[in-house]
A and B are shown apart, each in its own frame.
Chain A
Amino acid sequence: MRFALTALLCKALSIAGKLLGGGTDLPGKIALKMYPRVMKKLKFDGKVLAITGSNGKTTTANIVAHVLRENGYSVVNNELGSNMTSGIASTLLCACTLGGRIKADYVVLEVDECYSRFIFKDLRIDYYLILNLLRDQVVRNGHPDLVSTKIVEAIAAQPEMTLILNAQEPISQNLAGDNYAVYFAMDRTERSTDNCVSGTHDAKICPRCFHEMKYEFFHYNHLGNFACTHCDYQSFHPDFLATDVDFENRTITINGEQISVTYNTTFNMFNTVAAAALALTAGVSMEEFKKGVATFGGAKGRLDTFDFEGRKVTLMMTKQNAASLDQSISFVLEQAGDKSVVLFINNVLYLDYKDISWLYDVAFERLHGKVKNILCTGNRALDAAVCIKACDFDSRTLHYENDLSKIKEAFRNTEGDIYILAASAFGHEGKIIEELKK
């Protein structure tokens, strides 16, 4: 009875929330207040898949859910990335019967790295994909080691769960413990580098013996084939290996099967291998995966284009996360034509910290000679400019304007197509667009 009432309230609040345009977390939050262990009562007819990692979890979860739906499976998922305890509770309580049964063939959950240990206490999870661990939103998470201890706690709560781990990421590859695990990897591509070109590299030394780690190549950040110079810790043999990554023709070969995809960035190719490893391990056939991924429409809400005085503007949402911004820079560098980058940098989180140290972990140096201008905006515009100056950009290239009412003029002083990199702007990026359209 208590369960049925809680689920009913959650469903009602969710419908009301949709009508009023509220958040997806709130119904779950209230449900958990009413009945803290409510998720323990859920019964699943199908398989439960959870996906976590510092980068790529929304896209990867959406790829997996899309593949399943395209093949006629019924799926429950938290598509919009409400990935903490209350968001997961909202998703599941809205999808279950009043008896607590979730009838879907698959439940696909994107789960926050730090919250999985709370969620896994009460939910049965069958498959857990850990994409990677990089320094991410450090104000909230601290460093990747801290995050990995929280994930170890989550894994300990689910001894029967199968893990899907990245054989090219030394921190998360190391997390299997006694659980059964399968591994994925991606072969060297034309974009791989011999040295780490990103600003952050979180595994220069071995997580087991602290001696120097050597990498055969890097995909991005510290993701690549690795081996310790001292102990025997190295990239494990992958159960799922991507080869022949063809960015131009948008194809990737996984375990010998060529697959067509709808995108051409390195990180989404890598996400595809991870998605395939999870889906195939969880019972999807290669044919089904191929069919589904061929029509994937992309992650929602991270990219938008519009016109400003005849110039193309691309708005890219990133997190306050060096790896995320480094990936946006990679995207910009892959685009043709003259271009300028606009950095929209604000105080951290809702608590208004004035820290921008994460920005110093970004390899802005890669933009040397490749962009006409870098314009820093947002309330930390000048601090961002100090950071860009430290990367040896001169005052002809580097501009800054912290007054959004003057942003039009500042945009006019840049050349070429404009790429706005908006870091965790929480909707504030709308103010720039509003000013530009005045």
Chain B
Amino acid sequence: MRNIKILHIYSKALDLYGDYKNLTVLSQRIRETGNQVEIITAELFENLEFSGFDMVYIGHGKVKNLAAVAAHFVPYADKVKEQIENGQVWFVTGNASELFGQSFTTPDGGEIKGIGLFDYKGVETNKVFVSDMIGRPVFDKEETVYGFANRTAYLEGENKYPLFEVIDGFSNGKTPDGKEGTLYKNFFATWSMGPVLSRNPALMREILKRLLKEDYKECDYTLEQQALELVLAEFKKG
């Protein structure tokens, strides 16, 4: 049995659209496999320590808050990159992806540095963009996922490490290029807001496998799968 330790950073500053429920359902599933889980939060202006955690989570947030977070987060760039290169599991939703690129722009036209793990740049538009998305995860192309973006920014630059091959809907960029999110080693990121782990058993399983390794067990996803099938059927109908 494992005791999985999850670090949720900026839970108060980046907290939009029910994203934190990703951790609620992930914890439920970890317990269902007979393992234990502990969630620790760390906020803006507090000291961040990543070692000793199995997973780090950052959610989608207000644009102004993201800029404040960047000023606090970027000084940890080397430590963050080291953890990700060494295989720590990260799960990042919405505009928090912008923190991991070269830079991102702000509503007043400023530019803020990211940690530079990826080549992309975040571009703020000040306009709400919404879209559904269905796609196939790169780790299992037999599976289909559903996501929903509600964002005012996009990522500019080639997506070298996509998480999903998009069948229909949004990409990381301004215009659809068939690739969404990021999967690099055990770093997962997606623009899908809200409860993406709750609604997508395939993604939940993959993260559980990477967290639990030999202690992974299959759970009952009947209801979640049925719900997802109904969503996908509506896309087929068009």
A389-B223 CB under 8 A given contacts A354-B234, A357-B193, A383-B231 = yes
**Measured CA separation A322–B231 after assembly (Å):** 22
SS class, residues of chain B in contact with chain A: mixed
Residues of A within 8 A of B68 (CB): 210
Question: Is A355 on the interface with B (CB-CB < 8 A)?
Answer: yes
Interface contact A142-B128, CB-CB below 8 Å: yes
B152-207, CB < 8 A from A: 152, 193-195, 198-199
Residues of B within 8 A of A98 (CB): none
**Measured CA separation A211–B28 after assembly (Å):** 31
Question: What's the interface size class on A, roughly?
Answer: 35 or more
Residues of B within 8 A of A352 (CB): 234
A181-240, CB < 8 A from B: 199, 201, 204-205, 207, 210-212
Work out how many contacts link A and B, with CB atoms closer than 8 A. 113
Question: Is A360 on the interface with B (CB-CB < 8 A)?
Answer: yes
Question: How many chain-B residues does the 8 Å CB contact rule pick out?
Answer: 41
Interface contact B146-A390, CB-CB below 8 Å: no
A357-B128 CB under 8 A given contacts A145-B63, A383-B231, A390-B24 = no
A386-B62 CB under 8 A given contacts A205-B12, A353-B130, A360-B195 = no
Interface contact A383-B199, CB-CB below 8 Å: yes
CB distance from A252 to the nearest CB of B (A): 32
Question: Is A70 on the interface with B (CB-CB < 8 A)?
Answer: no
Interface contact B107-A149, CB-CB below 8 Å: yes
Interface contact A205-B13, CB-CB below 8 Å: yes
A360-B198 CB under 8 A given contacts A138-B150, A146-B152 = yes
**Measured CA separation A199–B152 after assembly (Å):** 23
Residues of A within 8 A of B130 (CB): 139, 351, 353, 355
A144-B43 CB under 8 A given contacts A353-B130, A387-B198, A402-B230 = no
Residues of B within 8 A of A358 (CB): 17-18, 194
Enumerate 27 A-B pairs (CB-CB under 8 Å) in ascending A order: A135-B16, A139-B128, A139-B130, A140-B128, A142-B152, A146-B63, A146-B128, A146-B152, A201-B15, A204-B12, A207-B64, A210-B13, A210-B65, A322-B18, A352-B234, A353-B131, A355-B132, A355-B150, A357-B18, A360-B21, A382-B223, A382-B226, A383-B231, A386-B224, A390-B24, A390-B195, A392-B28
Interface residues of A (CB under 8 A from B): 135, 138-146, 149, 199, 201, 204-205, 207, 210-212, 322, 351-361, 379, 382-383, 385-387, 389-390, 392, 402
